[in-house]
Structure 1
Amino acid sequence: MPLLTPTRALVVLTSFLLVSFLWTWGLPHQYAAPTLPIVNHDKGEEKPIAGQLLPEPLIANVGAEGAKNEKATPTTLVTEMKPGPTRSADIGSDKNCKDVRGASDVMIVIRTSRAEVEKPPAHLVKLLACAHHFLIFSDHEGEIDGHPIHDALDIIPNTTRSNHEEFLEYEKMKADKKYKPSTEKAKALDKWKWLPMVYKVATMAPNHRFYMFIEPETSLSWTNLLQWLDRLDYRIPYYSGVPDTVDDKRYAQRSPGIMLSYGALQQYWPRHEELYATEWEPLAATESRGSLILATAMKQAHVEFYSSFGLLDPETPSSLIWGQKFWCTPVVSWHGLTSTQADSLWDTQEAWTKKHGWATPYTHYNAFEQFVKPHLAEQKEDWDNVSSDTQLTAESGRREKLAKQKAEGKAEGTIEHQVPKDPPKDASKNTKPFPKRDDSLDTLFQVAADSPENCKATCQKTDDCLQWKYTPAGDGACHLGKSLRLGAKVNPDAKGKWTSGWMLDRVNRITEEWGRCERAEWRFNQ
C-alpha cells in the first residue's frame, strides 16, 4: 500500500484545519496591548490606576541638583511596577508650588551655552525653586547661581572633535574657564549637544515619569505643565512638541519646549548605544538643526512624534494669531517673551493658583483677557498690529498728486472723492485677493492708502476685517487683517511710522462666540 493515500491526506488536512480553528478561536492567549495614546485627555469620573506607576530610583541624590554627576548604567533601568499607595489628590490653593501633585514626577532639563547665559533669568530662578529635579546642560562644565552645569559634549569622541572646526571653541572653553565664545560660534556647537544630552539624562536620572527640555527663554506655566502631564501615561513613549517640517521630516521645535516620557527614554538609550557612532554622529556632522537630528534618532528608536501645538506656543501673546481652535486650550509654554514679560507671566500664574487652586487650568481665553484685550483700541499711534491679509499700496506719485490738488483747492484724498472706476494697474498690490465688494468698496480701496481714516473706513466696510494698520511711508499703505493679533509698539524712527486699529465691536462679538471656557480642551496630536 502506498504511504500517502487520498484517505490519509484528507485526515491530515482535517486535523490541520481543526488545530488552526482551536488556536484562533478556542484556546486562551494574550494579545498585544495597544500603545497609542488617547486623543482627548479631559479627565472625567475615573478610578486611579492601580499599582506603582514609577519604578524605584536607582541612584540616590542624583537628578535635581546633579552635584555628584554620577552615572547609572542604562541597562539597569527598573521596569517592574511595585504596588504602592495612590498619589495624593490634595491640590488646594494653599499648596506650595513644590508640594503640588505631580511636581516630583517631572525632570526639567535646561539647554544653554556659555555665550547665552551668565546668570539665569528671574522666571527660570522661580521655576527651579518649584522643581524637585532639574539638570542644566551646556557646552562647558561649571556652575550657575549655585547650580552645577553639566558638559553635554564631553562624551563625544576626541577623533570627532578634532575633525570638526566648531569644536575649536569647545577646546578653548575647556582650556580657559573665562573664555566666552561669540553667540554665532556657540550656536554652531548646539546641534552636537542634543543626542549626548538626552543620553546623559537617561543615565544620570533614569526614573522620572516625564522630562521637559527647555531653553532659558522658554516660559513655562508650572500649574498647566503638571496638570497636562498628570493626564498622560508615562509608560507610553512620548516625544512631543510644536511641529515643524524640513524636507518632509517632521520634528519638534526646541524653543517652546520638548517633552519626553520615561517610555521614550527606555527606547532611546539602547538605540543610542547601538547607532550613535555609525549613523547618528555622521548625521550631526551634516545636519544644521539639532532638534531635527533628535527627531531622526527618536524615529529610529521607534518613538512616535506627537504634536502638542496649542499647549506649547512658539509665539508670545503679542505675536500669536488668536482663534477659536486653541481658545480653550491651556497654555503650558510661551517662547520669545522679554525678561520683564516672562517675569510678569510667572507672577500672573502665582496669582491664578492662589485664587483658583492647582487644578484649574489657565487657558488661552484667560491669557487673551489679561494680556491682549486691555490693549485693543479703535486707533493706536506708533503701533504695528501685524495686519497683513490684504495690503493696499498707493500708486507711485500719489502723495505728490494729492498735495498738488490740495494746493489747487480740490478736496482730494477723501473717501467721498470721485475716482475712476478701474484703478491703475500699480494702484494696489495685494498679498491675497480682495474680499467681495460693491461699488463703494471699489472707491474705498482706491483711496485706502491716503490716510489712517480712509484705511479704517475700508476695514469697517469689509465684512471680515477685524483690524487694520496704516503707514504714510512712500506714497502710503493700508494693511487689512481678518486674523486677530495684538502686535507691539514700534519706534517710528527705526521701523517707520505705523498707526493701527481694531474693529472692537467685531472683536467682542467673535470672542464672545468662542466662549468663556468653562471646560478646558486638553486634546493634542490633532
Structure 2
Amino acid sequence: MGARFQWFRQRHVATAIFMIIILFYFIDHRETYGGSIQHLPSKQSNVDTQLGNTLVEDIRFDNTHIEDVPDENIDVSCDITSGLQDIFLVLRTGANEALERLPAHFNTTLRCLSSNDYGIWSDFEEDIGGYHVMNALDELAPEIVESNPDFAYYRRLQEGGRGSFTVEELEEWANAANGPAGRDSPGWKLDKWKFLPMVDKVYRQRHDAKWYVFMEGDTYINWTNFLHWLSKIDPSKPYYIGKEVQIGDDIFAYGGAGFVISQPAMKALVEYRATKPGVYEELTANHWAGDCILGIAMKDAGVELSWQRPNFFGESPFAMDYSATMRSSEHYAWCYYVSTYHHMTSSDIDEVFRFEKMWKEENSTFPRHRDVFHALMLPKLGYKVENWDNDSSDDEGPMETFEECQSHCSEMSDCLQFVFYEHERLCKTSSTIKTGHRRHESDADVKLAVSGWMMDRVESFIGALDAKCPNDVESWILP
C-alpha cells in the first residue's frame, strides 16, 4: 500500500466543503426513511441557483467527521474509462433538501456523466449550480394534485417556492418524528408519489439505456466497484436489483441504498402500468413508501427482486454494523465489496470519495467494507475521545464519571465501545463498532459526550473478521 494512502489513513482524512444552504429546512436529513420496515437477512441470489423566495443565510462547514484538512486537493477529473455509457442515473431529491444535498454530488457522483446520462428529479423545478432539477410530479392527474392532502404542500411550493412556508411550519417539520407510517412532514409524505411518474419520465427520456440506476440525495455510489459488478450481469434479461427490505408481505428494493433496473425490466414496468390506469395511484395514496409501491408494480409486471445486500448497503460506513452476517453465520458484510452507502452527509460523501480516489491510485484490487473500516473508521477510535458521541445505544444507567463508564464496559466481555454524557451522568455501551460524530457546546441539543473504545478488543474484533474473508472469493452478490 503506497505512502499517500498510508498518510490518508493515519491523518484521519476528511475534507470540509462549502455548501450553500437555506436557513430553514424541514426534515431530519440523517433519517430519510421512517416507518416500520424490516431489513431482511440477505440471501445468495444466482447555486447559479434559482432561489425564488428562498432565504440563503449562511455558508458553513459541515465537519461531522473532520479531524484535520489535508493541504492537497483531490483530482475530481473523470477516471472511469468504461461502463458509464450503458447507464442512465436517476437522482431523486426534494425542494426541502436539494440545496443542501445536491452540491456534494456535482464533483463526485456526476463528475463523469454527460447531461444525456443522468436526470435529477424533485417536487420543484429549478437550477442548482448549473444543474437542472426537474419536477417528477408535473404530469400527475389534476384531481390527485388538487384533492389529495399530500399535495397541499406541493401546491404552495409551486405557487411561491420555498418562501411559501412560515418559520413555525418549517420548525415543526424539522422536528417531525418517525412513526409507524414514516416521518410526519409534508416533504416526506410527498416523496412517495415521485417513484412511478419518475419511471415513466426516465424511460421516455432515455429508452435505450442498458441499466437504470436509481439513487437519493444521501446515497453514495462507488463507481469503480459498481460498474465492475454491473459488467458481470446480462443487461438483456429483466432485472430489478437492490438491497432487500420488507413491509408486510411486500419485498422491494430499498430506495436509499440505490437500486438498478435493466432495460427489459424497465420496459415491462412502463408498459404494464400503462394498462392499469389509476391502480398504483390508489395504492400510493394508501401507502407510505414509494419504493415499496414500485416494487409491487415491478412484481405485478413479472419482475422479481434480486437481493443485493451487502454490496448495496442501507447505512453509511460510519454507522453500519461491520460484523453483520449475510445468509448464514459464515458470510460477513466485512468481506464484501462496497457498491453503495446510504444516510451519507455531504462531508461523508466527500470523505468516502477521497478514499475511493486514493485507493484506486494505490491498489489494483477493489475495496471491501473492511478496507473502508481500516482507512476511515479505525484512525478515529481511541481509549478516550473528548466531545465525541460514538452512538453507543445500550443504556447502562447513571454513572458519575467517564472512568466508571469505561470500567463498566471493560467488565462486559462483549463491550467494544462506550460513551459518557457529562451533563446527564449517563453511560451507554455497544457490542458493535461505530464512529459516531463530534459534539460541541454550541450544538442545539447540548449533550457533551466523551467516547471510548476498548482498543485491545477492537484489535481482536478486526483480526477475527479478517480471518473470515477467504482471499480467493470475489464476494460480489450476483442475481
Provide TM-score, normalisation by structure 1. Answer: 0.65
Deviations 1:356-404 (A, max 9, x none): 35xx312111111111101111122232223334x3324xxxxxxxxxx
Contact map agreement 1:115 1:180 (CA 8 A) in 2: no
1:199 corresponding residue in structure 2: 200
SS at match of 1:198: helix
- 1:331 and 2:331 are equivalent in the alignment: no
Between Structure 1 and Structure 2, whose CA radius of gyration is higher? 1
CA distance in 2, matches of 1:172, 1:462: 54
> What is the distance in 1 between the residues matched to 2:158 and 2:408?
62
CA distance in 2 between partners of 1:367 and 1:99 (Å): 20
Where do 5+ consecutive residues of structure 1 fail to align?
1-37, 42-93, 395-448
CA drift at 1:151: 2.6
> Is 1:127 matched up with 2:109?
yes
In the TM superposition, what is the alpha-carbon distance from 1:124 to its structure 2 partner?
Answer: 3.4
Structure 1 residue 202 displacement after superposition: 1.9
Residues in 2 aligned to 1:488 and 1:121: alpha-carbon distance in whole angstroms:
22
Are residues 1:159 and 2:143 paired?
yes
Equivalent in the alignment of 1:393: 397
- Structure 1 residues 118 and 380, CA gap change in structure 2 (3 angstroms): closer
What's the counterpart of residue 285 of structure 1?
Answer: 285
C-alpha distance in 1 between matches for 2:280 and 2:427: 50
Q: Tell me the CA shift for residue 524 of structure 1.
A: 5.9
How far off is 1:146 after superposition? 3.2
> What is the TM-score when the length of structure 2 is the normalising length?
0.71
Q: How does 1:90-101 map to 2 (within 5 A)?
A: 97=78, 99-101=80-82
- Determine helix, strand or coil for the equivalent of 1:255: helix
Amino acid at match of 1:356: N
Aligned residue among 466, 485, 507 for 2:416:
466
Once the two structures are overlaid, the 10-residue window that deviates more, 512-521 or 127-136, is 512-521
1:276 maps onto 2:226 in alignment: no
Deviations 1:440-469 (A, max 9, x none): xxxxxxxxx343323323332332222223
Q: 2: distance between equivalents of 1:99 and 1:489?
A: 34
- 1:378/1:169 CA distance change after superposition, 3 Å: closer
Which residue pairs with 1:316 in the alignment? 316
Gaps of at least 5 residues in structure 2 are 1-42, 47-74, 174-184, 325-331
**Residue 363 of structure 1 corresponds to which residue in structure 2?**
368
Count of residues in Structure 1 that have an aligned counterpart in Structure 2: 377
Deviates further, 243-252 or 367-376: 243-252
Partner of 1:503: 454
The secondary structure found in structure 1 opposite 2:452 is strand
Aligned counterparts of 1:158 and 1:464: Cα–Cα separation in 2: 57
CA separation of 1:462/1:483 partners in 2, compared to 1, >3 Å: closer, same or farther?
A: same
Any idea what SS the aligned residue of 1:331 has? coil
Task: Point out which structure has higher relative CO (alpha carbons under 8 A, 6+ apart).
Answer: 2
Q: Structure 2 vs 1, CA of residues 505 and 162 (structure 1 numbering), >3 Å: closer, same or farther? A: same
Given that 1:376 and 1:486 are in contact with CA atoms closer than 8 Å, whether structure 2 keeps it comes out as: yes
1:203-227 alpha-carbon deviations (Å, 9 max, x no partner): 2211212111112222221111111
The one-letter code of the counterpart of 2:376 is: F
* CA displacement 1:389-428 (0-9 Å, x = unmatched): 4x3324xxxxxxxxxxxxxxxxxxxxxxxxxxxxxxxxxx
Contact persistence 2:77–2:111 (CA under 8 A): no
Give the letter for the 2:233 counterpart: L
- 1:453, 1:288 → 2: CA distance? 45
1:176-231 superposed Cα distances (whole Å, 9 cap, x missing partner)? 67866667444333221111111221222112121111122222211111112112
CA distance in 2, matches of 1:505, 1:178: 51
Which amino acid in structure 2 is aligned with residue 228 of structure 1?
W
Moved more, 281-290 or 159-168: 159-168
Change (3 A) 1:135 1:123: closer
What is the identity, as a one-letter code, of the residue corresponding to 2:344? L
Contact (CA 8 Å) 1:98, 1:131: kept in 2 or not?
A: no
The 5 A counterparts of 1:188-267 are 188-267=189-268
Report the structure, 1 or 2, having the larger strand content.
2
Residues 125 and 133, structure 2, Cα contact 8 Å, conserved in 1: yes
Structure 2 counterpart of 1:116: 97
Superposed displacement of residue 293, structure 1 = 1.5
Q: Secondary structure at the match of 1:190?
A: helix
Provide the C-alpha distance between the structure 2 equivalents of 1:362 and 1:237, rounded to a whole number of angstroms. Answer: 28
Deviation string, structure 1 residues 150-195 (Cα, Å, up to 9, x no partner): 3322322223322223434444555567866667444333221111
What percentage of residue pairs aligned between the two structures are identical? 29
- Whether contact under 8 Å (2:80, 2:224) holds in the other structure is no
